[in-house]
Amino acid sequence: MLPPDPTELSSNRSTILHTGRQCANPPDRHPDLCFSDGNVVILAGNVYFVVHKGPLGRHSPVLERLLQDLPTEDTDVINDLPVLAVPYTPEDMVYFLRTLYGFPVDMVNQDFCVTSALLKLATAYEVDNLRAEIIQRFTQCWPKSLSQWEIREKSAVNEDGVYAPRPKLPHPILIIAVAREAGVLELLPSAFYDLSRYLPSQISNGYRDPVTLHDHRLSPDDLFRVFRGKEQTARYFSTFIVNELEGRMPSKFCLNRNELVPARKRSCQIAFETITLSILRDSNGMLLNHNSDPLFAISDSLAMQTKEDSPGADNNAAYRACEACRLDYGAVVKAVREEFWRKLPEWFDLPMSDWDA
């Protein structure tokens, strides 16, 4: 979906304005963003703002053209000033104008509705520095690189070790919508993968905003993409289990290869068999709220053997592979996860020319 064209002005404002020096049923004046020395009015919905042509034009080439093209005669006026009507909500224009005027805006802790509105308007009005800043902040949570994704995932784990991304992170359906609208396509692969981890019924039903009660759903094409990608990630994960875990032989440098006791000699094989069983049962995924998450499960298959390797802690793995076998397997896990990440755009049918591993 493309954003509204900011150059499209309403041609029928007879219920609010009429040509000349007076207003019938005048719109509401914004209490803060109306300057006594302003020389133009921006009308959003039924709220108007008295602002300055010069500063706005310096920030936005689109606004500069629109303001320059305002007719000087036979035009709608408010307070004897020409009116530029814009196709955005008053709330969105408040966020945008406050930012352009340099009023404090907390980009880090602002609600998603604020940052998404700013991205939408910065894109439409070509305020490139603002657009770049917001995209940079969005890509911290919806990144192109696997390393940044890992940082993001760790930040969403609570003090009990349970994955709890809400309300810290917005729902991926919201991210998909704003990425489509603003043309920030690099956000899509990680957002689609995030969404694919939900149950099929949750994906189909969409997301209901708990504040506005508005339902957000994917388009039919994107719904197909997420289910197709979900199938591809599951297939890749199954192949990983078959190729790398089932019947895995010890490393040629295995520290237990010369053991005389058969059980000790096979301890590394038993350890990997235990990992396989645990993954198939998805036991850690269930406990840590990471079920239906192949990328996590692949990493966790190694962590099952090493996660307690910290000073003063005991490793609780019932069967533990030797260090040589774990190092060999760790290299496999790293390569497999990097390949998994590289394939996300292909699996979700999202062509990307510069997708990072």
pLDDT single digits (tens) 32-43: 999 999 999 999
> Which pLDDT does position 288 carry in this prediction?
59
Give residues with Cβ within 8 angstroms of 225, minimum separation 6: 192, 348, 349, 350
Q: Which residues contact 256 (CB under 8 A, 6 or more apart)?
A: 250, 264, 265, 266, 267, 268, 322
pLDDT digits (tens, 9 = 90+) for 58-94: 999 999 999 998 876 656 678 788 999 999 999 999 9
3-state secondary structure of 290: coil
Ordered by start, the domain boundaries in the chain are 28-90, 113-218, 233-305+316-348
CA gap 255, 298 in Å, rounded: 24
**46 and 107 in contact (C-beta within 8 Å)?**
no
Average pLDDT over residues 344-348: 96
What 3-state class would DSSP assign to 24?
Answer: coil
Pairing of strands 47-51, 28-34: parallel
Q: How far, in Å, CA of 39 to CA of 43, rounded?
A: 13
Sign of CA dihedral 45, 51, 52, 57: negative
Instruction: Compute the mean pLDDT over every residue in the chain, rounded to the nearest whole number.
Output: 84
| Contact by Cβ (8 Å): 195, 173 | yes
Q: Which tokens in the block code for residue 195?
A: 């969404």
Q: Residue 103: CA atoms inside 13 Å, Cβ hemisphere, count? A: 9
Q: Are 323 and 256 in contact (CB under 8 A)?
A: no
Average pLDDT over every residue of 228-252: 92
Is a pLDDT exceeding 80 seen at residue 119?
yes
Confidence of residue 6 (pLDDT cuts 50, 70, 90): low
Per the structure block, which two tokens stand in for 115? 């940052």
Please report where in the chains the tokens 């209490």 appear, as a residue. 31
Question: Is the pLDDT higher at 285 or at 242?
Answer: 242
pLDDT of residue 11: 35
Give residue 274's Cα distance to chain centre: 35
In sequence order, which residues have a C-beta less than 8 Å from that of residue 197 and are 6 or more positions away? Answer: 290, 291, 292, 293
**What is the pLDDT at residue 35?**
93
Give the pLDDT confidence score for residue 75 in this predicted structure.
Answer: 62
Distance (Å, whole) CA 195 – CA 284 = 20
Select from 57, 89, 54, 67 the least CA-distant residue to 7. Answer: 67
